[in-house]
Amino acid sequence: MERHITLLGILFICYHTAVLVAAFIVWITFIGIGLISASALRHALDFIPYMPLGLLNFIGWFITIILLVVSLPGFIAGVGLIRFKSWSRILAMIVAVFNLFNFPIGTALGVYALWVLLSPESAKLLSSGGKSSD
């Protein structure tokens, strides 16, 4: 079960790092579109205000912050699982339940995480700090 917990920690880190990369891409995209549209509109029509830049900037930041808030607990749980910290089991189970709604990859990761973390052996391993009692 130690291998499953370590693999789960690695999967959590990889998956939530991908979400962080997606957040960065969303931020860059919205900021870029806002700058391009604001620049093009300002040169085409002098009386149009700077609203597209401000609105797209706000939307980009809003989506990025939501993705950051959603992905950071999963990343932290993954690091805790790799280090066999006792607190990581509860955090990973909470994150796994939220991942179930992110079809299809998050659902698969959530089901696997719940299968690993709800086993009595993993509860024993994580409470003892990863030292097998065999």
Tell me the per-residue pLDDT of 41-75, one tens digit each, with 9 for 90 and over.
566 555 555 556 677 778 888 999 999 998 999 99
Residue 122 lies in a domain: yes
The pLDDT assigned to 134 comes to 45
Cβ neighbors of 76 (< 8 A, separation 6 or more) are 91
The pLDDT assigned to 60 comes to 85
Residue 134 lies in a domain: no
Structure tokens, 2? 């130690």
User: Residue 85 is part of which domain span?
Assistant: 2-128
Single out the residue of 71, 35, 41 nearest to residue 56, CA to CA. 35
pTM for this prediction: 0.79
Residue 40 lies in a domain: yes
CB atoms within 10 A of CB 20: 17
Rounded to whole angstroms, how far apart are CA atoms 87 and 127? 8
The pLDDT assigned to 51 comes to 54
Cβ neighbors of 128 (< 8 A, separation 6 or more) are none
Chain mean pLDDT for the chain = 85
The pLDDT assigned to 59 comes to 84
Residue 133 lies in a domain: no
* Residues 23-37, mean pLDDT to the nearest whole number: 82
Rounded to whole angstroms, how far apart are CA atoms 108 and 121? 21
Tell me how many domains the chain contains: 1
